[in-house]
Amino acid sequence: HRLNTFNSLEGNSNHLYLFTGNLFANAAQWLQFITIGWLALDVSGSVFHSIMAVAVRAVPTLILSPCGGVLADRMDRRLLSLITAIIMSCMAMVFALFLISDLGITVGYVYGYTLVTGIVHAFNQPVRQALIANTVPQDKMANALALNAMTVTSMRLLGAILGGVLIETVGFHWNFFFETALYLGMALLLVPMRTPYQEESTARETSPINNLIEGVRYILKEQSIFRLMLLNFFRTG
């Protein structure tokens, strides 16, 4: 059998929509990381605030992602991903308009924006990961997961490059306009997408608190998963 890097995308429009949407979302995420750190440094003149602004964006992902996983098991995953993408697009647009206004920007506003977007991202990321299994058959799952990991790595580089070029040429606000467009593009791609491989969830048979407790217990029991979660936190943070 010949090696096919894009095996999970062939003849599968639903996964192609999700793959492209995740590509946009990861580009927006890394574009925001480079912009937030640079903006905090520009506003405050402090490297400490530059580092902390990015850290504030990452912390909710570690703390609230389990809650996002619970919601992903209890709600329509496509709809939840669509709603959170629209929210992040709107927040980026509002912040871009705020930057070009005469209201004045302080490092406190930067912290506030990164905290709120971090909270929304904590619910968006788990559901995007869960949707992969809902759009591909089991025999193509490994390829789909590998492609998703590739989008994170590639967009980490390209997002940083794009962010730096935009800041130096047209200003910080254009980065957030681009972020708006990327999240909006993700939302539009989710509209025609379907989840033919999604199975009926049993999570609704118990309370959300029980779902959360069971998930935490499982993570703590499976040390390999716990280490991967910590690694992902420091990698994305």
For residue 67, the enclosing domain spans 13-145+171-194+202-236
Angstrom distance (rounded) from CA 49 to CA 53:
6
pLDDT, residue 181, reads: 96
Angstrom distance (rounded) from CA 53 to CA 50:
5
Q: Count how many Cα atoms sit within 13 Å of the Cα of residue 104 in the half-sphere of its side chain.
A: 3
Tally of domains in the chain = 1
Closest alpha carbon to 107 in 146, 151, 56: 56
Angstrom distance (rounded) from CA 183 to CA 25:
6
pLDDT, residue 2, reads: 45
pLDDT, residue 219, reads: 66
Q: What is the DSSP string of 192-223?
A: T---TTPPPP-GGGS-HHHHHHHHHHHHHH-H
Q: Report yes or no on 141 lying in a domain.
A: yes
Instruction: Give the pair of three-digit tokens for residue 13.
Output: 């429009």
Q: How far is C-alpha 31 from the geometric centre of its chain's CA atoms?
A: 12
Residue holding tokens 């490297």? 47
The CATH number of residue 181's host domain is: 1.20.1250.20
Q: Report yes or no on 3 lying in a domain.
A: no
Q: Report yes or no on 183 lying in a domain.
A: yes
Q: Report yes or no on 5 lying in a domain.
A: no
Residue 175 phi, psi (nearest 5): -60, -40
Closest alpha carbon to 61 in 33, 96, 86, 92: 33
Q: Report yes or no on 2 lying in a domain.
A: no
Q: Report yes or no on 161 lying in a domain.
A: no
Sites in the chain below the pLDDT cut of 50: 1-2, 237
Q: Report yes or no on 94 lying in a domain.
A: yes
- Strands (DSSP E) found in the chain: none
pLDDT, residue 203, reads: 58
pLDDT, residue 90, reads: 96
Q: Report yes or no on 225 lying in a domain.
A: yes
pLDDT, residue 111, reads: 94
Instruction: Give the pair of three-digit tokens for residue 15.
Output: 């996964």
